[in-house]
Amino acid sequence: MERSATAVVQPPVSAVPVEQTVLPVLLALSLSHMLNDMIQALLPAIYPVLKQTYALNFAQVGMITLAFQATASLLQPAVGFYTDRKPLPYSLALGMGVTLLGLVLLASTATYPLLLVAAALVGTGSSIFHPEASRLARLASGGRHGFAQSLFQVGGNFGTALGPLLAAAVILPATGQRGALWFIPLAVLGIVVLSRLGRWYQAHLDLRRTRKPAAPAASPLPPRKVYATLALLGALIFSKHFYLASLGSYYTFFLMGKFGFSVREAQLRLFVFLFSVAAGTILGGPLGDHFGRKRVIWFSILGVAPFTLVLPYANAFWTVVLTVPIGVILASAFPAILVYGQELLPGKVGLVAGMFFGFAFGIAAVGAALLGHLADHAGIEYVYRVCSFLPLIGLLTVFLPDLRKPRAG
């Protein structure tokens, strides 16, 4: 595995101009994103184990998510802002190293406060990783920005989908949370791949310094309209990720409480949903390149509403079936939203990635905490009846301006 990763990311600088799509680099980025998010997905995947081991209520489970998501949310914009001015190619491997520390602490701690620290470390690693990785994906895109972001993000979504599956196969049959130690080699592999990517990235930065700098691009909209458009995008991210928080953190409890599934059965059905999210992510970027970002955003945010409105009232079979179109349609929005934002603020790739990833994680954190309190007081089924209306916020897409015409072919 290490040998192939090395071969993937060491093309000669002169042989691979950045004007072309550098697919090996994008694939290596997607692989490292999968490893990073697979480790992060262990947290919600083992919530039932932690809840039983530490006698936690839903609010305390939500606080674990808050500890992870808050560090990722608050730090990412700062990291992106800094690296826009001074790129840090080897910070990618550093971020994975911090995630590794969080993983070791998660597997070895015996107290609830240290669980929160472990979750915060995993979130910190994520905040270091995502802005620079998103910038590197754009650098290697060769102008196919939507495709590059989708390929980069689908690795993360696929890793998130594998988390519950591997937790069911490894952690539960092993010694509870200590089974997380089996994932240490994956984190080490991620550090190796990201170190190679950092070398490729540094080589291209050195090459770009020898060229005449291009004039900074201007935003296609006046400043006041830029701020208004960013606010609209924030509302759309809110509707998407608040709903995803309800499924990512509490879907297993919903299935166990309403239909009597075992922990493993519920985690396997969570995998079905998360795999659907991965499938939707790979579609959103290329469709945005071809049809325009606004059309994809419009469909992916609002088009999911009929399915979310029906889900709280479906039986066990149809609940699982409905999560497939929900995951596919809803996930196709984020690559289009991210590239839309980077086109809205040209030259601030890291800042936009940090803001959008950070805001998404922050919304998921707040959503997990609030929904945990709501589940404690009103029941888990009530949570899904309330959240089913969130995609209707997608109606705001009608106010988004069209930044570019769709590409032909």
Query: Which domain CATH number covers 127?
Result: 1.20.1250.20
Domain membership of residue 2 (yes or no) is: no
Return the minimum-mean-pLDDT range out of 3-12, 260-269, 313-322. 3-12
Residue 182 above 90 pLDDT?
no
Q: What is the number of domains present in the chain?
A: 1
State the pTM of this model.
Answer: 0.68
Q: Collapsing DSSP states into helix, strand and coil, what is residue 10? A: coil
Parent domain of 158: 18-207+220-399
Domain membership of residue 5 (yes or no) is: no
Domain membership of residue 366 (yes or no) is: yes
User: Which residues make Cβ contacts (< 8 Å) with residue 355, sequence separation at least 6?
Assistant: 76, 77, 80, 341
Query: For residue 357, what pLDDT band results from cuts at 50, 70 and 90?
Result: confident
Domain membership of residue 133 (yes or no) is: yes
Domain membership of residue 7 (yes or no) is: no
Cβ proximity of 36 and 163 under 8 Å: no
Residue 402 above 80 pLDDT?
no
Domain membership of residue 270 (yes or no) is: yes
Query: For residue 213, what pLDDT band results from cuts at 50, 70 and 90?
Result: low
- The better pLDDT of the pair 168, 23 is held by 23
Helix axes 145-166, 263-291, angle to 10 degrees: 180
Query: For residue 176, what pLDDT band results from cuts at 50, 70 and 90?
Result: low
Q: How many C-beta atoms lie closer than 10 Å to residue 53's C-beta?
A: 14
Return the top range by mean pLDDT from 289-303, 339-353, 354-368.
Answer: 339-353
Residue 238 above 60 pLDDT?
yes
* Cα gap 63→61, rounded to integer Å: 5
Domain membership of residue 4 (yes or no) is: no
Positive or negative, the CA dihedral 193, 190, 269, 331 is negative
Residue type, 261: F
Domain membership of residue 26 (yes or no) is: yes
Q: What pLDDT score was predicted for residue 216?
A: 53
Query: For residue 15, what pLDDT band results from cuts at 50, 70 and 90?
Result: very low
Query: For residue 72, what pLDDT band results from cuts at 50, 70 and 90?
Result: confident
Residue 379 above 80 pLDDT?
yes
139-159: average pLDDT = 82
Residue 12 above 50 pLDDT?
no
Q: What pLDDT score was predicted for residue 332?
A: 80
